[in-house]
């Protein structure tokens, strides 16, 4: 956690304003972007709520804003509400294209496109349920990248190309929208050890004073949580077996999180 603290400390010392996706979007909408420098901090909560809480404590202690995007499998209502109340953003890290394709064993982009109305309906159902559970605005969302997306060549955020769906749900921005990305000078993402940064070291960009930087973090890369990461890897294995052969579905089904358990983040919070 000291590494994140040091990174933010150095960014602030260089005069960076540290924003969430939601707060920088408000500046963009209002036409209030200046020369910067700006640092947009985003965390995708793929796994590991314990490390998420530790990262959140650093963000809060440093007095900056960040976006925390939670999957259905990591959804934690109390933590999301706490993040929002402190001025940062908590919202939805969605993956309905991959989820639907696994469930129905879709094998091609053409099949995904044929089922897109049902996929969008599933997304709308999940989004509304999260919004009702948390009471949060969820004005921005971010798509999750899954192994099946890469195999099919279909990105999850393609389902939000439907402008009518966005307007119906009140979604103003997807984290990969060009209207946001066009402002970034450089984007960075963390990686698993030993490749700690995938796109260069963000500290170099900060010390160079690049005007608009985004840093994307994933909790599982920041601290070892062996039981949770093992659970996630077993779930992935179960999904792969179920997708490859329908007869495996009954064997892998216990590895798939159920909504009532997921809702409270129970599986991860016990560790």
Tens-digit pLDDT profile for the chain (271 aa)? 999 999 999 999 999 999 999 999 999 999 999 888 999 999 999 999 999 999 999 999 999 999 999 999 999 999 999 999 999 999 999 999 999 999 999 999 999 999 999 999 999 999 999 999 999 999 999 999 888 889 999 999 999 999 999 999 999 999 999 999 999 999 999 998 889 999 899 999 999 999 999 999 999 999 888 888 788 778 777 777 777 775 444 444 443 333 333 333 333 333 2
Show the tokens assigned to 70.
């939670």
Residues 253 and 64: beta-carbon distance below 8 Å: no
Rounded to an integer, what distance in angstroms lies between the CA atom of residue 187 and that of residue 181?
9
Rounded to an integer, what distance in angstroms lies between the CA atom of residue 271 and that of residue 251?
25
Return the sign of the alpha-carbon dihedral for residues 146, 152, 158, 164: negative
Q: Residue 63: is it exposed, middle or buried by C-beta count within 10 angstroms (0-12/13-18/19+)?
A: exposed
Closest listed residue to residue 210, CA positions, set 67, 39, 32, 10:
39
Rounded to an integer, what distance in angstroms lies between the CA atom of residue 144 and that of residue 70?
10
Show the tokens assigned to 117.
């109305």
Show the tokens assigned to 153.
């060549």
Residues 59 and 213: beta-carbon distance below 8 Å: no
In this prediction the pTM is 0.88
The string of DSSP codes covering 23-44 is: HHHHHHHHT---S--EEEEEEE
């Amino acid at each position: 956690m000291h590494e994140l603290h040091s990174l933010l400390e150095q960014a602030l010392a260089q005069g960076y304003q540290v924003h969430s996706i939601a707060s920088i979007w408000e500046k963009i909408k209002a036409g209030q972007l200046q020369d910067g420098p700006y640092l947009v901090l985003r965390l995708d909560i793929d796994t590991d709520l314990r490390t998420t809480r530790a990262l959140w404590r650093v963000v809060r202690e440093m007095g900056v804003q960040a976006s925390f995007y939670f999957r259905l499998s990591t959804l934690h209502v109390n933590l999301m509400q706490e993040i929002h109340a402190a001025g940062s953003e908590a919202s939805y890290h969605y993956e309905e294209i991959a989820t639907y394709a696994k469930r129905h064993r879709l094998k091609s982009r053409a099949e995904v496109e044929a089922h897109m109305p049902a996929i969008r309906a599933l997304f709308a159902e999940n989004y509304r349920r999260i919004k009702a559970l948390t009471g949060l605005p969820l004005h921005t969302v971010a798509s999750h990248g899954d192994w099946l997306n890469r195999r099919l060549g279909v990105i999850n955020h393609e389902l939000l190309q439907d402008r009518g769906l966005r307007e119906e749900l009140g979604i103003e921005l997807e984290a990969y929208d060009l209207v946001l990305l066009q402002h970034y000078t450089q984007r960075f993402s963390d990686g698993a050890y030993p490749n700690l940064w995938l796109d260069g070291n963000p500290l170099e960009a900060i010390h160079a004073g690049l005007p608009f930087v985004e840093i994307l973090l994933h909790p599982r890369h920041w601290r070892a949580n062996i039981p949770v990461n093992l659970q996630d890897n077993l779930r992935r294995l179960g999904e792969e077996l179920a997708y490859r052969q329908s007869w495996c579905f009954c064997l892998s089904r216990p590895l798939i999180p159920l909504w009532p358990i997921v809702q409270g983040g129970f599986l991860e919070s016990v560790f």
